[in-house]
């Protein structure tokens, strides 16, 4: 019997909680490698797990420093999930897919 890879198993665990629209903001500091990796990773996650039900705004705090102050951004990259509630923040290059899916309430910790 063929063994399923972990990505396939993870997709099966994704919750089907209605069709909430996710509102996400990714704050980056320029186009350095860490920022580019965060953009690529979050876009991939959104495409695979939130297809058609997300708004992702990428904000460069070098170009728009007022957004960093208003969003209380102390590190970049930072992802903020504004909706659905509760509001959540993630810092880093968004490479830990499991942590993000749990934090975005798309799957359980199990």
The two three-digit tokens of residue 6, written as one number: 């972990």
What CA–CA distance (Å, rounded) separates 82 from 4?
34
Question: Which residues have C-beta within 8 Å of that of residue 106, sequence separation ≥ 6?
Answer: 14, 15, 49, 50
Contact 93, 5 (CB under 8 A): no
pLDDT band at 108 (very low <50, low <70, confident <90, very high): low
pLDDT at 33 over 90: yes
Question: The pTM is what?
Answer: 0.78
What CA–CA distance (Å, rounded) separates 75 from 15?
30
pLDDT band at 109 (very low <50, low <70, confident <90, very high): low
Per-residue pLDDT, 106: 86
Average confidence (pLDDT) over 55-69: 87
Domains of the chain: 20-103 (3.40.30.10)
pLDDT tens readout for residues 92-104: 999 999 999 999 9
pLDDT band at 12 (very low <50, low <70, confident <90, very high): very low
């Amino acid at each position: 019997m063929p063994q399923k890879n972990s990505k396939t198993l993870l997709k099966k665990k994704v919750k089907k909680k209605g069709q909430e629209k996710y509102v996400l903001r990714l704050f980056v500091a320029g186009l350095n490698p860490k920022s580019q990796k965060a953009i690529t990773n979050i876009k991939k996650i959104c495409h695979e797990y939130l297809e058609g039900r997300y708004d992702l705004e990428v904000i460069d705090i070098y170009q728009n420093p007022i957004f960093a102050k208003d969003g209380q951004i102390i590190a970049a990259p930072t992802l903020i999930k504004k909706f659905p509630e509760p509001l959540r923040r993630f810092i880093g290059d968004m490479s830990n897919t499991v942590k993000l899916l749990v934090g975005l309430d798309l799957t359980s910790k199990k």
